[in-house]
Structure 1
Amino acid sequence: MFALALAPAPAAAEPTATSDTPLALTPPMGWNNWAHYMCDIDEAKVVANADALVSSGLAAKGYDTVTVDDCWMTRSRDADGALVVDREKFPHGMEWLGDRLHAKGLKFGIYQDAGHLTCEKYPGSGAPLGGGPDHYAQDARQFASWRVDFVKMDGCNLYVPEGVTKERAYRDAYRAVADALRASGRDMVLSASAPAYFQQGEWGGPDWHRVLGWVGETGQLWREGRDIQVYKPAAPATSRWGSVMGNYGYNRWLGRYAGPGNWNDPDFLIAGAPGLTAAESRSQVALWAMMAAPFILSSQVSELTPEGLAALGNTELIALDQDRLGRQGAVASSNATFEILTRQLAGGDRAVAVLNRSGSARDIHVPLAEVGLPGCTVDAKELWTGERRRVSDALTGRLAAHDTAVWRLDPRGCAGAVPTGQIVGRGSQCTDGADPAGPGAVVMAACTGAPDQRWTRGADGSLRLSGACLTAGGDGLVGLADCDARAARATGQTWTHRRDGALVSVLSGLCLTAAAPAAGPDTPADRLRLESCGDHRVDQAWALPV
Structure 2
Amino acid sequence: MGSFVLLLASILASWTLLSREPRVHALEDGVAKLPVLGYNTWNAYGCGISEAAVLSDAHMLVSLGLRDVGYTHVNIDDCYAEKNRSASGDIVASAARFPSGMNNLTDQIHALNMCYSDSGWYTCAHYPVTPHSFLTLHDRDAKLFQDWGFDYLKFDNCAIPYDDIIRQGIVGKYERIATAIAQLAQDTGKPPLILSLCEWGNEQPWLWAKRFGQSWRTTGDINTSWGSITSIINQNSFITWASDFFGHNDMDMVCADPSTSSGNSGITHEEAKTHFTAWALMKSPLLIGTNLSAISQDNLSILKNQEILAINQDPVVGTSVSPFRWGINPNWVSNSTHPAQYWSGESQNGTVFMLINTLSKPADMFFSLTESPWIRAGRQYAVRDLWTHTDNGTAIRNFTAKAVPAHGVVALLLTDAGDEPPSSGPPCAVLQWCMDKNGTLAPGA
TM-score, scaled relative to structure 2:
0.79
Number of the residue aligned with 2:385: 382
Structure 1 residue 326 and structure 2 residue 328: aligned?
Answer: no
Change in Cα spacing, 1:414 to 1:74, as seen in structure 2 (3 Å) is farther
- Using the alignment, how far apart are the partners of 1:308 and 1:278 within structure 2? 7
CA contact (8 A) 2:43 2:291 kept: no
The letter of the residue matching 1:362 is A
Q: CA deviation at 1:160?
A: 4.5
- Which stretch of structure 1 is more off in the superposition, 329-338 or 310-319? 329-338
Select which of 227, 232, 248 maps to 2:233.
248
Q: CA deviation at 1:173?
A: 1.9
3-state DSSP of counterpart to 1:26: coil
The letter of the residue matching 2:231 is G
Number of the residue aligned with 2:124: 119
3-state DSSP of counterpart to 1:39: helix
- Using the alignment, how far apart are the partners of 1:86 and 1:390 within structure 2? 59
Name which structure has the greater RCO, CA cutoff 8 Å, separation 6+. Answer: 2
Structure 1 residue 397 and structure 2 residue 397: aligned?
Answer: no
CA contact (8 A) 1:158 1:170 kept: no
Q: CA deviation at 1:107?
A: 0.3
Number of the residue aligned with 2:306: 315
Number of the residue aligned with 1:135: 137
For residues 308-344 of structure 1, what are the alpha-carbon distances to aligned partners after superposition, in whole Å with 9 as ceiling and x for unaligned?
1111101100001112210111111123467011111
Number of the residue aligned with 2:351: 350
- Which stretch of structure 1 is more off in the superposition, 153-162 or 48-57? 153-162
Change in Cα spacing, 1:38 to 1:87, as seen in structure 2 (3 Å) is same
CA contact (8 A) 1:290 1:341 kept: no
Number of the residue aligned with 2:342: 340
CA contact (8 A) 1:251 1:265 kept: no
3-state DSSP of counterpart to 1:91: coil
Number of the residue aligned with 1:94: 102
Q: CA deviation at 1:162?
A: 4.0
Change in Cα spacing, 1:124 to 1:222, as seen in structure 2 (3 Å) is farther
3-state DSSP of counterpart to 2:56: helix
The letter of the residue matching 1:158 is I
- Which stretch of structure 1 is more off in the superposition, 324-333 or 247-256? 247-256
Q: CA deviation at 1:83?
A: 0.4
Q: CA deviation at 1:92?
A: 1.3
- Using the alignment, how far apart are the partners of 1:265 and 1:465 within structure 2? 39
For residues 254-273 of structure 1, what are the alpha-carbon distances to aligned partners after superposition, in whole Å with 9 as ceiling and x for unaligned?
12221111001000001134
Number of the residue aligned with 1:290: 281
- Using the alignment, how far apart are the partners of 1:86 and 1:408 within structure 2? 48
Number of the residue aligned with 1:73: 81
- Using the alignment, how far apart are the partners of 1:467 and 1:148 within structure 2? 58
The letter of the residue matching 1:277 is T
For residues 165-217 of structure 1, what are the alpha-carbon distances to aligned partners after superposition, in whole Å with 9 as ceiling and x for unaligned?
8xx522222111112112333321110113x1x52xxxxxxxx23x4322111
- Using the alignment, how far apart are the partners of 2:300 and 2:154 within structure 1? 25
Number of the residue aligned with 2:425: none
Select which of 389, 409, 412 maps to 2:414.
409
Unaligned runs of 5+ in 1: 1-17, 200-207, 230-238, 416-455, 457-463, 469-546
The letter of the residue matching 1:412 is A
State the Cα RMSD in Å.
Answer: 2.7
- Using the alignment, how far apart are the partners of 1:339 and 1:102 within structure 2? 41
Q: CA deviation at 1:413?
A: 3.6
**Structure (1 or 2) with the greater helix fraction:** 2
The letter of the residue matching 1:77 is R
Number of the residue aligned with 2:215: 221
Number of the residue aligned with 1:202: none
Unaligned runs of 5+ in 2: 1-25, 260-265, 329-337, 421-428, 435-445
Aligned length: 376
Structure 1 residue 171 and structure 2 residue 179: aligned?
Answer: no
CA contact (8 A) 1:95 1:147 kept: yes
Structure 1 residue 260 and structure 2 residue 245: aligned?
Answer: yes
The letter of the residue matching 1:329 is V
